[in-house]
Amino acid sequence: MAVDKIIFYLCVTLITISITFSLSLPVFTVLQFDYSQYHFFIRQLIVGCIGIFLMWGLSRLNPDKALIWIGFGLFGFCIITMGLMHMLPSSMVTEAGGARRWIRLPGFSLAPVEFFKIGFVYFLAWSFARKINENKKSIKEELKLLLPYICVFLIVVYLIAVLQNDLGQVVVLALTLIMMALFAGTSMKFFSIGFLGAALLAIVAIISSEHRILRIKSWWGTIQGMVLSILPENIAEILRVDDAPEPYQISHSLNAIKHGDFLGEGLGAGVFKLGFLSEVHTDFVLAGIAEEVGVVGILCIVAIILALLYRIFRISARSENKVYHLFSLGIGLIISFSFLMNSYGITSITPIKGIAVPFLSYGGSSILAVCIGIGMVLMISKKAKI
């Protein structure tokens, strides 16, 4: 059966948009570090071409033979790598805020967590397909069934949230795990318990880190005026935070979006990328794009993302093989949650979590990992009745 070419073309379009804005947005960083004018553009162009080739190459493989090797290869290699990263010498690991997230290789750095997400989704799909069914079970039976996955996830929390200080990725993986378990056959009651447990775990992770508490205060400082204005005065006084850090990044992000208005300032004509929004080509890429191409441009990107997710979930729904069904679902969820968390963060709906926008944010690991995931979905599309 034929590969879903529409998914491939939609991904190529998003990668092309990313390459285009990698020339426009990082202008301040280029000047600050005295890089070549085309430093980020060339790197993103190379990574984008490799990603497109990966998608095309993987789509030609037989999922019945190749999927399990790629899925478990990524899962096993990345979980071992993340466990060993804190033991590596500083010459081999790039640190950010005291956390070791990237392994230095000749010419580039690699973030194992991005590839781990793809392997983790396959591990869940493969295991859930064998362990969970639609038969009615008690909460005790479901808990006993899912206890090994909870233990594995706690190891993941330690490797990513503790050792790498990256709570955002853990939130994405937790939401994906809960949704995949629901579609695999767990009850809605257990789904609610799992969601509550994940929320409590996130709260513990936040209050145990001064850095995360300051980030929450900064976010609350941007929205408390609006929220508290509709609450009774006695409640508002309890919730008001007077010493919240000034949320410069979020303020500039919102101003950039507002400055872009409906049609944008024009490609390359944005001003908030000139030192106001640091690293605008990574975490705040949507704000930078919004300023230059406006609401119309952002709506076009959202339409492409929605079309891509529709095609992925369509493949998932029409796959008779339960592993293929759950894996495609998981990849769609990873892309969905990552896009929503970033877009909500830059508009101050939720705290900013440093999650890359799939395909659009500058960074080789993020693009290559999502291209591998899409390539595996394309592989599966040949077996789905679409």
Question: How many domains, in total, are found in the chain?
Answer: 1
Query: Please, which residues bridge with residue 48 across strands?
Result: none
Task: Give 278: exposed, middle or buried? Use CB within 10 Å, 0-12, 13-18, 19+.
Answer: middle
Contacts of 203 (CB under 8 A, 6+ apart): none
Tally Cβ neighbours within 10 Å of residue 176. 23
pLDDT of residue 74: 95
Task: Give the helix/strand (H/E) hosting 282.
Answer: none
Q: Within a 10 A sphere around the Cβ of 210, how many other Cβ atoms?
A: 8
What is the pLDDT, as a whole number, of residue 330?
Answer: 97
Pseudo-torsion of CA 143, 145, 147, 151, nearest 10°? -150
Supply the DSSP string of 120-180, one letter for each residue. HHHHHHHHHHHH--SS---HHHHHHHHHHHHHHHHHHHIIIIISS--HHHHHHHHHHHHHH
- Sign of the CA dihedral with 90 first, then 91, 92, and 98 last: positive
**Per-residue pLDDT of the chain in tens (386 residues, 90 and over written 9):** 688 999 999 999 999 999 999 998 988 888 888 888 888 999 999 999 999 999 999 999 999 999 999 999 999 999 999 888 878 777 777 766 556 778 887 777 788 999 999 999 999 999 999 887 777 777 777 788 888 888 899 899 888 888 888 888 988 999 999 999 889 888 777 778 777 877 787 777 777 777 777 777 777 767 766 666 677 777 767 677 766 665 677 888 888 898 888 888 888 888 888 878 777 888 899 999 999 999 999 999 999 999 999 999 999 999 999 999 999 999 999 999 999 999 998 888 877 777 899 999 998 899 999 999 999 999 999 988 76
pTM exceeds cut of 0.95: no
Residue 386 resides in a domain: no
- Could you tell me the two tokens for 275? 């030192």
Question: Is 326 a member of any domain?
Answer: yes
Q: What is the DSSP letter of 25?
A: T
**Count, residues in the chain:** 386
Residue 351 placed within a domain: yes
Residue 333 has what pLDDT? 97
13 closest CA partner among 38, 46, 50, 48: 48
CA 267 to chain CA centroid, nearest Å? 26
Q: Is residue 178 part of a domain?
A: yes
Angle at CA 336, nearest 5°, toward 68 and 202? 90
102: β partners: 94
Phi, psi (rounded to 5 degrees) for 235: -75, -40
Specify if 32 maps to a domain: yes
Q: What is the pLDDT of residue 301?
A: 96
3-state secondary structure 39-93: HHHHHHHHHHHHHHHHHHHHHCCCHHHHHHHHHHHHHHHHHHHHHHHHHCCCCCE
- Has residue 293 been placed in a domain? yes
Please state, in angstroms and rounded to a whole number, the distance separating the CA atoms of residues 22 and 11: 16
In a domain, residue 302? The reply is yes
**What local confidence, expressed as pLDDT, does residue 97 receive?**
56
Range of the domain at 252: 5-381
Residue 216 belongs to a domain = yes
Residue type, 302: V
